[in-house]
Amino acid sequence: MESKLDHVTVAAAAQAYVPAEEPGVRGHLPLNGFDDKRVFRDARFRLGLALREAGLIHTEAARAVIECNIVRSKSLW
């Protein structure tokens, strides 16, 4: 019986690095979350950032504006 030292097993082939061909995929695993471009496109994030930079984030008016813009589910889990 001969041993196959140069044989690639199925397990080794499954772990091989495959370069990303589509946006949002990093190496082996897809990107599950937000990248910086997607975060800065969000108007709610930009609003909070502008309020922080202006020093208004702790005011009642800022709190009211942020609460109006947060999307929350109506269901209780």
Q: Does residue 2 belong to any structural domain of this protein? A: no
Other residues' Cβ atoms within 10 Å of the Cβ of residue 62: 18
Per cent of the chain over pLDDT 70 is 68
- For residue 42, is it within any domain? yes
Give how many domains the chain has, as a whole number: 1
**Residue 25 covered by a domain:** yes
Residue 24 lies in a domain: yes
Closest CA to 70 of 35, 42, 36: 42
Report if pTM > 0.75. no
58: how many CB neighbours lie within 10 A of its CB? 9
Mean pLDDT, range 16-28, rounded to an integer: 61
* pLDDT score recorded for residue 38: 84
Residue 41 lies in a domain: yes
Q: Which structural domain range is residue 27 located in?
A: 10-69
Side chain identity, residue 34: F
pLDDT, greater one: 53 or 17: 53
Q: What's the whole-number mean pLDDT along residues 28-33?
A: 68
8 Å CB contact between 26 and 20: yes
**Bridge partners for 30 per DSSP:** 25
Closest CA to 35 of 50, 17, 23: 23
**Does 77 fall in a domain?**
no
| Mean per-residue pLDDT over the chain, rounded | 77
The whole-number pLDDT of residue 53 equals 95
